[in-house]
Amino acid sequence: MRLKKIFIVENSVLYLFLLFTGLGILSFDMLPQVVYLVSNIVNNEHLKEYSSVIFYLEENNPHTLRTLLMLPFYFLYDYFSINVNLSFGIAVILLIFLTYKNIIYIYPVNNKIKTLILLSLMTLTIFMNGRIAFAIYGNSLLLKIFYRRYFILNIRYIKFILNLLIALFFTTVSTGTSIVAIGTIITFYFFIFILNKFRKIRSINYRVLFDFISILVLLIGIFRNIIIMYIDKNLDYFGSFSLMLHHGIGKYFRGWMIFILPLLIFMLIILMQIIRKINIIIVPLSLTISAGFIGIFGISSLVSGISGFIVSTLLILNIKYVKKNYTK
């Protein structure tokens, strides 16, 4: 009976927000960089269909990946005359709902907490830039596949790598969110190699090493130039790393930056002690740390890590359950 109730609640909330989007009560606009790039190509090349821009995208353009991510909405417009902003808005709602599903997959909670998480995430869509939903979902997918790969052991290597690439692709909606995702991966494996503490399967360390090398090769081979291009673009726009602080929560701590590093080191020491006792917290904490640090330079980057904040909080608040199910 409980499952039926939560099913009704979940779908009611989802359909309500989809209805708000369909009626225009809740609206989201396509990424301006994508609109500008697509319009320019269409006009310059005299194209009849917006989706045809896929053949004219340049590899060295910092907006190419996010344009590829948004092209399905232009296909829907070309072939079904569905308004780009409308289909984009529907996708935003669906991705936030899928983020909720990823969160409760990692850490099952009772129906009241599920409802609270779902309503909180859906309410967030009222205030946020639509593109961040893609990064929020991408990061939550990252958490889910790490959890499946190393803790419940139910995802094979090929599927793991493919899902990881999909997760990274979804985070390309902005420079900051892309770096958050990559930072999450690096932080996750950093904790694993430092602590070297896994339960149930001894050979898992070989799996971790193989996965890490594979991902490192992918990041260097595919994303190295993209990351450099993203950073150069932001530095050209803002002028310096210091000025980039105005774009994130760093603007509230500029006078205190000298104290931030010692504080971070102290917090890291505390976190290492927590992780030694609770292995699974490595997963959400990696995203929380990455989003928190990059969030100094961009609010959107901070928000993209919300799934990490939620799962970390749930694990800490339910320490008895965690010790029983995820510790030796």
The pLDDT, as a whole number, for residue 49 is 86
| CB distance 167 to 142 below 8 Å | yes
Helix/strand/coil (H/E/C) assignment for every residue in 200-257: CCCCHHHHHHHHHHHHHHHHHHHHHHHHHHHHHHHHHHHCCHHHHHHHCHHHHCHHHH
| Six token digits for residue 175 | 């420079």
| CB distance 282 to 308 below 8 Å | no
Helix/strand/coil (H/E/C) assignment for every residue in 126-137: HHCCCCHHHHHH
- Rg of the chain over Cα atoms, rounded to whole angstroms, equals 21
* pLDDT by residue, tens only, the chain of 328 residues: 455 788 899 999 999 999 999 999 999 999 999 999 999 999 888 888 888 898 888 777 778 889 999 999 999 999 999 999 999 999 999 999 999 999 999 988 888 999 999 999 999 999 988 999 999 999 999 999 999 998 888 889 999 999 999 999 999 998 889 999 999 999 999 888 877 655 444 445 778 889 999 999 988 887 777 777 766 665 665 555 555 555 545 555 555 556 666 766 676 677 666 676 667 888 999 999 999 888 887 788 999 999 999 999 888 887 666 666 665 5
Q: Which domain holds residue 62?
A: 1-326
Tell me the C-alpha distance between 99 and 101, whole Å: 5
Sign of CA dihedral 220, 223, 229, 230: negative
User: What element of type H or E holds 190?
Assistant: helix 175-195
> Smallest Cα–Cα separation from 50: which of 74, 70, 28, 32?
74
Count of structural domains within the chain: 1
